[in-house]
Every structure is written in C-alpha cells, then in structure tokens.
Amino acid sequence: MAKQKKQPRPKAETPKGFRDYFGAEVVERQAMLSKIAEVYHRYGFDPLETSAVETVEALGKFLPDVDRPNEGVFAFEEDDKWLALRYDMTAPLARVAAQYRNDLPSPYRRYTMGPVWRNEKPGPGRFRQFYQCDADTVGAGSVAADAEICAMLSDCLEAVGIERGDYVVRVNNRKVLDGVLQALGLEDDDEITRAAVLRTIDKFDKVGIEGVWQLLTKGRLDESGAFIDGVGLTIEQAQIIGQFLQSKGDDAQETFGLLSQLIGESVRGAAGIEELEQIADLLAAQGYGPDRIVIDPSVVRGLGYYTGPVYEAELTFDVQNEKGQTVQFGSVAGGGRYDDLVKRFTGQEVPATGVSIGVDRLLAALHATGKLKGEDPGPVIVTVMDRDRMAEYQAMAATLRNAGIRAEVYLGNPKNFGNQLKYADKRRSPVAIIQGSDEAARGVVQLKDLVLGAKLAQDATLEEWKSQPAQTEVATADLVAEVQAIIARHQ
Amino acid sequence: MAKQKKQPRPKAETPKGFRDYFGAEVVERQAMLSKIAEVYHRYGFDPLETSAVETVEALGKFLPDVDRPNEGVFAFEEDDKWLALRYDMTAPLARVAAQYRNDLPSPYRRYTMGPVWRNEKPGPGRFRQFYQCDADTVGAGSVAADAEICAMLSDCLEAVGIERGDYVVRVNNRKVLDGVLQALGLEDDDEITRAAVLRTIDKFDKVGIEGVWQLLTKGRLDESGAFIDGVGLTIEQAQIIGQFLQSKGDDAQETFGLLSQLIGESVRGAAGIEELEQIADLLAAQGYGPDRIVIDPSVVRGLGYYTGPVYEAELTFDVQNEKGQTVQFGSVAGGGRYDDLVKRFTGQEVPATGVSIGVDRLLAALHATGKLKGEDPGPVIVTVMDRDRMAEYQAMAATLRNAGIRAEVYLGNPKNFGNQLKYADKRRSPVAIIQGSDEAARGVVQLKDLVLGAKLAQDATLEEWKSQPAQTEVATADLVAEVQAIIARHQ
C-alpha cells in the first residue's frame, strides 16, 4: 500500500443548501408529525416508507424545471442506471401503486412522512432537503375520497394546535378551469397554453388581479425590473379568467352560480361544478362548514398533473413578513386529484388524490402562534465535587432517571466548578445537584434551583434573595421528591 | 418547445438493494425508536438530525473499502464539490462537533436516528439503505462516559422488550490489545499490521480460534474454497493473541489477572486494564452486574478508528439460521471510544465515545422473540350499500373516529358487495358496518364481526355458528359502544 500523503484538513461544513436540526427542533417536529400520523392512521390510512433513492425513470419529470435532464433532482449513476433522491412523495407512491398493484388493497390509503431533496438554488429559509407529510388515496375515483382528505386535513391542523378560525381549507376543481378555457375557445388539447395559464394564475396571490391580466395577455414588468412575457390571450379572455379566480360567492350556492355562467356549454366544466357540489354536500353532512372548508375558485396549485379537485390549507392569522409588513401566514398544505400518475407505469388509469403538508411551514406557524417555544427542558445535572465518587454520582443520576426525571452526571473535567454550572446553564438544566464528601457524610445533598437562580440574578430585590434561597440542603433520601418539587414549581 | 416523443413506459421498481416498508413495518420501527429515544433523552442526550447529504471530504474514508475513491458511498458532484449520502452517523457527528464547537455544550451528548446509505453489493437481508440509532458523548475523556453508554444500552434493550438474561453487553479496550501487540514486539506504529490483526480477530466469532491462528500466520482456506492470505505472524504470536481473545475469566478480577500476564511491561496495555477496572467498578456501583454488562476481551469491533473502550450488545437466545442450525441471535449494537475523529477537522484532540444500534437487527430480534407480530390492526370499514347515502356513511365513520376508533368508508366501486368484504379482509378490519335504506329507516345497523367470522369459517361446529352469530343488528345510537365491545372481545 502506498504511503499516505499528508492531506489538508477537511472543512467542517454542511453542504450548501443543507442544514442540521438540534434539540427542540427535532423533538417538536417529531411530536407534530406523530399527531398528524395519528389522525391519518385513525382515518384508515396505512404508513408507507419508500426508499430515499428511486430510479430517475420512475421519478419522472414533474418538477417545474422540465427542460434539462435530471434538473431539479440529485442524481447519480449506479450499475448503468441513473438513480436520484426523491423530490416528493407522490412520484414514489405512483411507483409503489404500480409495483405492488396485485398485493395492495384497493382503494389504497397511505400516509408517509420524511425528507425529500430538491436540487434548486438555496435561499433564505429555502433548503435542498426538507420534510413532507403526505396522505393519498389510490384507486378511488369518487370525490368522496377528495372530501375525506379535506376533512382529514382540517382535523390534522386542529390536532397540531391550529385553532379553528385560524385556518381554512379551500377547494377548487381543475375541470372547472378547463371548462372556462373551453368556453373561451382555447383548444382542449393545447397543453402548452393550459400549462402557461395555470402557472400564471397560480401567481394571483403575489401579483393581484391586474398582474394576472397583464401576464395572461402581453406580459408584465416585474418588481426586479425584468419583463415577463405574456401568454398572449386577448384582454377579454384574460378578464374572464380573472372573473373565474374571483368567483367565490358569499356561500357555495352563489359560487356555483357564478361558475356556471363562466363555463358556457362545456361538459367538462359542468362535471367539475357537480363534483364540487358533491364535495360541499359530503362535508356539510359531516359538519365541516365553510368556517373550515370552503369552495374557492382562486385555488389553482402550480403542478400540472392535477386532473380534478385541488385543495389548499391556508392559515389566516397575521404575521410580519421580512419587510415588516403584516400579511396572512398563508399556505401550509395542498394537494389534489391526479388520475394519470400510475398510468405512466401500467397504461391503465388509476384514480388517485392526496395532500402534502409542508412540515417546516406548519412548524413555523406553530412557533408564530406561540404553541411551540423551541425549548427542550434540560436534564438535572449531578455535579462532580470529588472525582473519586463518580460511581455515587452516577447512582444518584440513575435514581432520578428511574423516577422519570431527565438527569445526567457532569462528564467534563470537574476541576473548575464554575464550568460545571456554566454547562448546566447552557443545557437549560432546572436543577444542579451538589454533594461533597462532608455532605455525603451527613447524608445530605445541595439542590441548586437554576431557574429561580437565573430569575433572581436578573431582577431580585435583597428581600427576595433572602426569602427565596435558590440553593437548599435536603436529605439524600428525599432527593427525588425535592427535585420533582422544584421542577413542578417552574412548570 | 419540441414535440414530445412517445417514451417507453418506465419500470415500476425499487432500485437494486433498496426496499419499501409497509404498514406494521413502519409502525413497529417507529414505536421501537421512540422507546430508545426516550431512554437516550432521559440520560440527558439531546437529539440531532444532520442532513442526509455531506461533503465527501467531511465524511472521510472510514469504510472497509478504502482503496477506491468514493467507494462504499453514493456520491455526486454539485457546484464543483463532491457530495455523498452519509454512510453512518459518526462521521456527521464529528463534522457537527467541529463546525459548532463554540456553540455546543461540552461535553455534548447527542442521539440521532435515521437512514444511512452504503454503496455495497446488496444481498439477502442486506440493503443499501438502513436505519441506525446512535448515542455519543463528545468531549468527555473519562471512561465514566463509556460506562454510562453501556448502562444506557442495557436500559434501551430492556425498554424495547429484550428480557434481562437474553442479552449481554460485552466491554473490551483497544489499549489492552495494543499492549498485547507491544508485548509481542509488534511495533506500536505499524498501523498496517495492527489493522490486519484487528480485522482478523474480529472474525473470531465466525472462524473460531483455530481459524484465527491460521489467518494470523500463514493464511486459511475458507468455506468457499478460496485461500485467504495470512497476516504473517509467528505461531507463538498468534497463540498469544488467541489467549487474549479467550481471557475472559469467571469474574472480572480473573479476567484482569489473565490480561495482565499478556501485556507484559506495556504502559498502554496497563492503562487499558485500569480503564476496564474503572468501568467495571462504576457499573457495579450502579447495579449493572455481569448478568447485564461484562468485561470480555473477545470483543474487537472491526472499525479501525476506536482508541479505547469498545463495547457490543449481544442477544444470547437461540434462533434458527438459514441453514436450520440453532445459533445465538448475536450482535445488535456496538460502539466504542474514538478520540481522533473530530481532530481531523480541528487539529485538536476531542475525546468521544458512542454506540450505534442496528435497528433492523433489533427489530428482527423482537420478531424472533414474539414481542412484535408484524400486524397493524386495520380500520373498521363502513360499507356502502347506497351510493346516495355516502354522506351518512362518512358521518358514521367520523363518529367512530371521534370515539378513538380507527374507521373509514369503503371508497372503491360499491357495486359488488363481496368486493367490499374482501377489501375489509385484506385490511385486517375487525368490524364491517352495513346499513341499507331499510336499516336506516328502522334506526339500526348491521355489525359484522370479521375476526369471529374468519374463525368460524375456519373451524366452527354448527352449534358454534348458531350460538355466536358473527353478524348482529344494533341500534344506530349504540354504534360506538357495540363496535368497541367487539374490538375489546378480540384483544
């Protein structure tokens, strides 16, 4: 073997666009996902975990960047096959539904949660690895499946702590839009124009109705000064599409009336409205009124593969954006019906519908509402006064743990006691336990209430210092009860 | 845009060496990992989740295949940097410990769980993506940190359901082996020989003591008929190394006595024995006797980077191997002290020690002992007799769910009622609910006890058929209570 060359030291850094999650970030996400999984499971959905790696051919090209090969994904060649990290959970589900079609129950309801990877330009808050949490029903053509997912989405949001009234699930139907386009004389099979219209009206939130008009016709100068080419429709066509987006009435009946006017004679459009009526009826019968789920034609969803109902959960409370403006929190989940994805593999149409919850967005929302604090309570720290008595300190920590208290012995160099307390602070430890040999001989321990100590250090009067000693001596036999009492006091 | 060519249909298949996990497989793993996380957390360990992707330079080369670039990992080039999927959890931890060294508490106790990826030849039960579940302490040089991890490992095994007596955590120390090699006159800095000796004696389990002798000296014909080159030691040297492997005495004191004879004057060897004595004392003081944790020089661990104590959890109950032979279940977790991994990045030595639990192995063990059944109870199925009454069926399912019962409405084509019951069977549904319009008019529902039905169909006498009707009619108002009663009957 050749002699090893001296190598330069490797850089300790996360790759560009990736990040690490520490402590409370991991705990809070896990807890939130567990609550969502519980709802999904209770609705009869079965968990599925596919591998992170798929063949590029199975993944297909459904990301916005469609022109360059492997664009948008992290791909590598193995055994003469191109493999890639999954970019969403829907493509792997379509693969599974095709691969195991003879073994899976039909309809197949499944949920899944985990990271997905996108090879996109990273930006603030925009990472190349992020979590999704999906639920889909494959093999059910009835819109009852779409309605069920909307109801379940509503339940999920409430289960994780979003209050009723702070969110709304909006439902639309691609078929109605298709009907509007047909009524405008835009050819049914003109996929390119349809896709351009979809992409444009998906920007309604950002550019407003006049922006949509401009983009649908001749184009528009965007904020950065760049000119965005228009789709080339006439002003009349653009205005009717604008009316479609704004046709949400005071109630579902009014909405359906407005939509009916826009679709003209389109059979597909009429079918779309009827599906929306069924969804509204099913949800009303189960008590999901428009305070939770509402028919709203302004919901479009960017992805091209949707073929029927589309839905989106929006959080309606206000937050400050990075410019300091007050805005609605916005979308945290979305989905819809995609009847053609499994067909790619098998040639047979398999109806499917499903939702994806944006895990990081929903976590951010729970932080914004104060439901999550980003804090994981630290362990009780047993300090080390005598290195020789390590076994006894360990036994003390074990006693606390056996009583269900998170506890550990300080395992750094014990020489500097100040470092031990600094460590306890950094860990957000509620209590430090101190026992030198004289205390051991007397059968006592010192308990330092670190929460109270920090409070006193910050703003206590002399009287408070005296009346609330942050450090107390207790019998070793009472250790568990006394520590529990201090922890309870600060909860 | 060019006109799209007709593409051949993609194959619906998992890439070679990857697999999907369904239903109970996901639920059971999640439940097991939660129990382990709870133990880790109670010991004061903080969760960490690093990104799946690392720079190749940060990962380093610690996999067995060291000769080819990027061998053993899945790598790809992005922005002129080589990135790769992590192959274990230790390399990312070392990177994190270096990258955040000014912000993390020291010592830093962390746990992590998630998939890792290895670009190795897949085989039966050997996949390219699998789970690890690690806990490590970085920045604690004291062997109290090693002892703590051994105790925690023991607690984890019991927490997930391995009975005391069915496992043992074995502890050894690399320094003792180094001492033995020094006593044999093998140069301290002869890394290549040391690595070859390590790899060889790690096969002790498989090839037995005579196999180890052969491999340490002139080589050996293996089972497949291939000749494996020997390390080139003398027979005397090989026999002494063999004695080292077999020097576990009836108790720790005897073991230490035997080891002392083998290390001669080696200072490093003596330090290793002293560390093992400290570990044994610390564990004994906390009540972890040799029924749970034992000093055993036959534990080696294959990885080259360990510098001190090494440990391994073995399950001692018998199982049948694929050849039908009765064997001990074997190793499910292992780890040790690696004081040089962070130094790669920073140049400063940072002591560290940690354990990795083989998640799939431990799950297999829990299945072998019957603790896990591989079954996830299916939902109650509300069947669809009248398509028009879908909203009422959905409301019925919602009522059951609100009472905490997993329930769903059949969403396939309802025309063939037999298909609905077949679906319920496939889902392992405990109860099917049937309500036609006449039942609805009378305010009743039919409950079909599917567990009892399956049992009766299999082996019931006529009397049992009559006395235990698998289908009963109940008032709709009693739906929840009656369904709960049936489910409870079969638990």
pLDDT of the residue at A64 = 47
The one-letter amino acid code at A476 reads T
- Whether residue A48 and residue B23 make contact (CB cut-off 8 A), yes or no, is yes
Task: Give CATH 3.40.50.800 domain extents, chain A.
Answer: 380-489
- For residue B384, give both structure tokens: 């669809």
Give the rounded percent of residues in chain B with a pLDDT score beyond 90: 69
Size of interface A-B (CB pairs under 8 A): 291
Ranges of chain A whose pLDDT falls below 50: 1-3, 64-69
SS (H, E, C) A391-450: HHHHHHHHHHHHCCCCEEECCCCCCCHHHHHHHHHHCCCCEEEECCHHHHHHCEEEEEEH
Measured between alpha carbons, how far is B319 from A491 in angstroms, rounded to an integer?
48
Q: Which of B43, B117, B392 sits opposite A285 (nearest CB)?
A: B392
Q: Which of B46, B286, B346 sits opposite A22 (nearest CB)?
A: B46
Give residue B428's region: left, alpha or beta (phi > 0; psi -120 to 50): left
Listed ranges B11-25, B48-62, B73-87, B327-341; the one with the highest mean pLDDT: B11-25
**B152 neighbors B135 (Cβ within 8 angstroms):** yes
- Whether residue B27 and residue A42 make contact (CB cut-off 8 A), yes or no, is no
Residue of B nearest to A131 (CA): B51
Q: Which of A27, A53, A284 sits opposite B47 (nearest CB)?
A: A27
DSSP state of B470: S
Q: Which of B15, B50, B379 sits opposite A20 (nearest CB)?
A: B50
**B95 neighbors B54 (Cβ within 8 angstroms):** yes
Gap between the terminal Cα atoms of chain A: 61
- For residue B141, give both structure tokens: 């040089």
Q: Which of B18, B55, B423 sits opposite A51 (nearest CB)?
A: B18
Residue B61 pLDDT level (bands cut at 50, 70, 90): low
Taking contacts as CB-CB distances below 8 angstroms, the residues of chain A near B406 are: 41-44
Taking contacts as CB-CB distances below 8 angstroms, the residues of chain B near A75 are: 76
pLDDT of the residue at B65 = 45
- Whether residue A109 and residue B12 make contact (CB cut-off 8 A), yes or no, is no
The one-letter amino acid code at B369 reads T
* Chain A contact probe: residue of B46, B375, B480 with most A CBs at under 10 A: B46
Q: Which residue has the tokens 């097991």?
A: B32
Taking contacts as CB-CB distances below 8 angstroms, the residues of chain A near B398 are: 151, 286-287
Distance of residue B285 Cα from the nearest chain A Cα, in angstroms? 6
Question: Per the annotation, does A155 bind a ligand?
Answer: no
- Whether residue A13 and residue B117 make contact (CB cut-off 8 A), yes or no, is no
The one-letter amino acid code at B68 reads R
Task: Report whether pLDDT(B365) > 50.
Answer: yes
Question: Per the annotation, does B90 bind a ligand?
Answer: yes
Measured between alpha carbons, how far is B400 from A145 in angstroms, rounded to an integer?
18
Question: Per the annotation, does B281 bind a ligand?
Answer: no
Span B157-184, average pLDDT: 94
Residue B468 pLDDT level (bands cut at 50, 70, 90): low
Give every CB contact of residue A95 below 8 A, 6+ residues apart in sequence: A50, A54, A58, A345, B12, B13, B14
> Tell me: the pLDDT tens digits for B372-421?
988 888 999 999 999 999 999 999 999 999 999 999 999 999 999 999 99
pLDDT of the residue at B339 = 85
Question: Per the annotation, does A111 bind a ligand?
Answer: no
Taking contacts as CB-CB distances below 8 angstroms, the residues of chain B near A347 are: 9
Taking contacts as CB-CB distances below 8 angstroms, the residues of chain A near B292 are: none
**A331 neighbors A170 (Cβ within 8 angstroms):** no
> Tell me: the pLDDT tens digits for B248-268?
999 999 999 999 999 999 999
Residue of B nearest to A75 (CA): B76
Residue of A nearest to B95 (CA): A12
Residue B5 pLDDT level (bands cut at 50, 70, 90): low
CATH class for the region spanning A380-489: alpha beta
Alpha carbon A12 to its chain's center: 28
Distance of residue A321 Cα from the nearest chain B Cα, in angstroms? 27
Nearest to B152 by CA among B116, B110, B115, B114: B110
Measured between alpha carbons, how far is A267 from A286 in angstroms, rounded to an integer?
29
- Whether residue B282 and residue A346 make contact (CB cut-off 8 A), yes or no, is no
CATH code for the part of the protein at A147-326: 3.30.930.10
Measured between alpha carbons, how far is B35 from B48 in angstroms, rounded to an integer?
17
> Tell me: the pLDDT tens digits for B280-313?
999 998 899 999 999 999 888 766 678 899 999 9
Taking contacts as CB-CB distances below 8 angstroms, the residues of chain A near B140 are: 411-412
Task: Give CATH 3.30.930.10 domain extents, chain A.
Answer: 18-141+354-366, 147-326
Residue of A nearest to B353 (CA): A411
- Whether residue B46 and residue A376 make contact (CB cut-off 8 A), yes or no, is yes
**Average pLDDT over all residues of chain B:** 90
pLDDT of the residue at A394 = 94
Nearest to A173 by CA among A62, A287, A277, A251: A277
Task: Report whether pLDDT(B169) > 80.
Answer: yes
pLDDT of the residue at A198 = 84
**A317 neighbors A166 (Cβ within 8 angstroms):** yes
**B268 neighbors B175 (Cβ within 8 angstroms):** yes
* Chain A contact probe: residue of B33, B39, B53 with most A CBs at under 10 A: B53
Task: Give CATH 3.30.930.10 domain extents, chain B.
Answer: 24-368
- Whether residue A14 and residue B51 make contact (CB cut-off 8 A), yes or no, is yes
- Whether residue B51 and residue A394 make contact (CB cut-off 8 A), yes or no, is no
Please give the radius of gyration of chain B, using alpha carbons only, rounded to the nearest integer: 29
Question: Per the annotation, does A478 bind a ligand?
Answer: no
Question: Per the annotation, does A306 bind a ligand?
Answer: yes
**B316 neighbors B167 (Cβ within 8 angstroms):** yes
* C-alpha count within 13 angstroms, C-beta hemisphere, residue B306: 31
Residue of B nearest to A38 (CA): B406
CATH class for the region spanning A18-141+354-366: alpha beta
Question: Per the annotation, does B306 bind a ligand?
Answer: yes
pLDDT of the residue at A397 = 96
Question: Per the annotation, does A118 bind a ligand?
Answer: yes
* Burial environment of residue A413 by CB neighbours within 10 A (0 to 12, 13 to 18, 19 or more): middle
Give every CB contact of residue B91 below 8 A, 6+ residues apart in sequence: B54, B58, B59, B60, B62, B341
**3-state class (DSSP) for residue A171:** strand
Alpha carbon B327 to its chain's center: 19
pLDDT of the residue at B67 = 44
Question: Per the annotation, does A21 bind a ligand?
Answer: no
pLDDT of the residue at B66 = 44
Taking contacts as CB-CB distances below 8 angstroms, the residues of chain B near A394 are: 144, 147-148, 151, 282, 285-286
pLDDT of the residue at A364 = 94
CB atoms within 10 A of CB B418: 7
Distance of residue B489 Cα from the nearest chain A Cα, in angstroms? 20
**B458 neighbors B450 (Cβ within 8 angstroms):** no
Query: Which ipTM was obtained for this model?
Result: 0.90
DSSP state of B72: B
CATH code for the part of the protein at B24-368: 3.30.930.10
* C-alpha count within 13 angstroms, C-beta hemisphere, residue B174: 24
* Chain B contact probe: residue of A18, A51, A61 with most B CBs at under 10 A: A51
pLDDT of the residue at A124 = 81
Taking contacts as CB-CB distances below 8 angstroms, the residues of chain B near A93 are: none
- Whether residue A129 and residue B347 make contact (CB cut-off 8 A), yes or no, is no
**A435 neighbors A396 (Cβ within 8 angstroms):** yes
- Whether residue B140 and residue A379 make contact (CB cut-off 8 A), yes or no, is no
In this structure, what are the phi and psi dihedrals at residue A290, rounded to the nearest 5 degrees? Answer: -65, -5
Measured between alpha carbons, how far is B43 from B37 in angstroms, rounded to an integer?
10
